[in-house]
Structure 1
Amino acid sequence: MYREFFGLKEKPFNVTSDPNFFFLSRVHKEAFSHLIYGIKERKGFLEITGEIGAGKTTLCRALLNQLDINTKSAFIFNSTLLKRHLLQAILEDFGIPIETKTNVAMMRQFNKFLLEELAKNNNVVLIIDEAQNLRPSVLEELRLLSNLETEKEKLFQMILVGQPELRDKINSPSLKQLKQRISVRFHIAPLEKDEAGEYIYHRLKIAGSNGEIHFAEDALDAIFKYSGGIPRLINKVCDKALLFAYVMGTKSINLSLVERSIREIEGAVVLA
């Protein structure tokens, strides 16, 4: 609705995980480096955690865009899978035609695929999102999958991505063996205060802003205070603030507009 008024080619504050808008904050840059290291060095299990809306999925999508043609990848979003469906989902996402839907047959197929990719000097990466929802039996199945290796290296790298509950689950005594296999563990913290404004203007620039849109300093302070540095919450406030600014015919977002946006997000009745 407001794109034409602000001269934008697309909405800058959608809450979808668009890697084109990926912002390399200090912590996201560090997380990205950890993932690249874990993949290139064939470290096997990697774990990335962060609060809801911290940018975990966007980070993973940006990562996939950076992998070279010698890295085959699959991205599993359905973390409520039952144990018997896990291998099937993995094979399907890697584009492997399933011959027989039994665990033994599918495991044999997957192992064959991995060995073929290794022979081509290719790497294989499996990302499982919302991994905090995985049942303990499924996590144990993933641990068993990690046994697919040569004497020298892992045949594929697995990235478990989830909310902090994932870290707590893996730290439980029943999953001790899985925890021991995780080589890289990283938690994505919220943006720092000085990064929140940079994040907002970064997204505006990607969306096509010519610099006319301006957020007042106290407005930025209010956005950070409300969001706690969580990107998704920043997006929600900024999207609503731009809508109110459009209605008022201004390209300057002041504290009043931001406070009004926050009240509406929180369900308060906002009077015109």
Structure 2
Amino acid sequence: MYLSFYGLKENPFNVTSDPSFFFMSRRHKEAFSHLIYGIKEKKGFLEITGEIGTGKTTLCRVLLNQLDKKIKTAFILNPNLSELQLLQAIAEDFGLHIDNKNNKLSLLKRLNDFLIEQLEVDNNVILILDEAQNISLELLEKIRMLSNLETEKEKLFQIILVGQPQLREKLRSPELEQLKQRIGIRYHIYPLDEEEIEKYIYHRLNVAGFNGSIVFSDDALKEIYKYSRGIPRLINLVCDKALLLGYVLEAKLISLDMIKKSIREIEGITE
């Protein structure tokens, strides 16, 4: 609605996981470096956690876009499945042909054959399980056993567990002691620092075709940080509301009062 008013080509503050808008904060850079290291060194299990809205899924998409062709990947967004359903989803995302007649044993054999084939041509294989905090203890243990597919010298593939902080708590369960011992890389993504808020906002505006017409006042930026606590998804929600309000008011200077009103709308607080 407000794009033409501000001279933008697309919405700068969508809450979808769009890698083209990804802002590589200090902590996202560190998380990315940990992932690359874990993948190259074949560390087996990698664990990435962060609060809701801190950009974990988008970071995974950025990672997938930057990996070379020698790394084969499967990205499971909703792994809260039965063991058979998860194996089917993994096989399908690796591009393996399966049919409804495949049972667990045949799927495991097909997956193991695929991993051996990739090893023979010097390919690395990565499995990313997003929202991993929702996976049951039983299924997490099955996933650990899946990692037993290996040669005498190295792991056949790396498994990246991505989730909210509850994932860390779940992995401390006595039932998952063996899995916890296999995690070679751990990193927790914290929200943006206050000094990164302005850079984040203008980065997204620039990607959307920003021509310099929008200005967020200093006190508006401070209020955004105070409300969002540096969580990108909340920053997006506030900024989107504020730009819509600016369009209604025909204002291109986003003020403190506009941010406060936008926050009240998000929180459902009537004046």
Structure 2 length normalisation: TM-score? 0.98
Give the conservation status (yes or no) of the 8 Å contact 2:198–2:221: yes
What SS is found at the alignment partner of 2:88? helix
Letter in 1 for 2:257: S
Give the deviation of 1:137 after TM superposition: 1.1
- Alignment match, 1:230: 231
Give the deviation of 1:79 after TM superposition: 2.3
Letter in 1 for 2:207: I
Quick check: 1:74 aligned with 2:69? Answer: no
Quick check: 1:95 aligned with 2:95? Answer: yes
The CA deviation string for residues 104-162 of structure 1, in whole angstroms up to 9 with x for no partner, is 11111000000101111111111111000001111011100111111221111111100
Letter in 2 for 1:132: Q
- Alignment match, 2:264: 263
What SS is found at the alignment partner of 1:201? helix
For the residues of structure 2 that align with 1:181 and 1:103, how far apart are their CA atoms?
24
For the residues of structure 1 that align with 2:125 and 2:249, how far apart are their CA atoms?
52
**Percentage of matched positions with identical amino acids:** 64
For the residues of structure 1 that align with 2:145 and 2:134, how far apart are their CA atoms?
18
- Alignment match, 2:241: 240
Give the conservation status (yes or no) of the 8 Å contact 1:19–1:59: yes
For the residues of structure 2 that align with 1:214 and 1:98, how far apart are their CA atoms?
54
Give the conservation status (yes or no) of the 8 Å contact 2:25–2:192: yes
- Alignment match, 1:64: 64
- Alignment match, 2:151: 150
Give the conservation status (yes or no) of the 8 Å contact 1:86–1:138: no
Structure 1 length normalisation: TM-score? 0.97
| More deviation, 174-183/90-99 | 90-99
Letter in 2 for 1:142: I
- Alignment match, 1:251: 252
**Equivalent residues in 2 for 1:1-272, closer than 5 Å:** 1-98=1-98, 100-269=101-270
For the residues of structure 1 that align with 2:43 and 2:107, how far apart are their CA atoms?
24
Structure 2: which 5+ runs fail to align? none
For the residues of structure 2 that align with 1:224 and 1:166, how far apart are their CA atoms?
26
Runs of 4+ in 1 over 2 A off after TM superposition: none
For the residues of structure 2 that align with 1:127 and 1:211, how far apart are their CA atoms?
39
Letter in 1 for 2:136: R
The CA deviation string for residues 190-213 of structure 1, in whole angstroms up to 9 with x for no partner, is 100001111011100111101221
For the residues of structure 1 that align with 2:245 and 2:78, how far apart are their CA atoms?
36
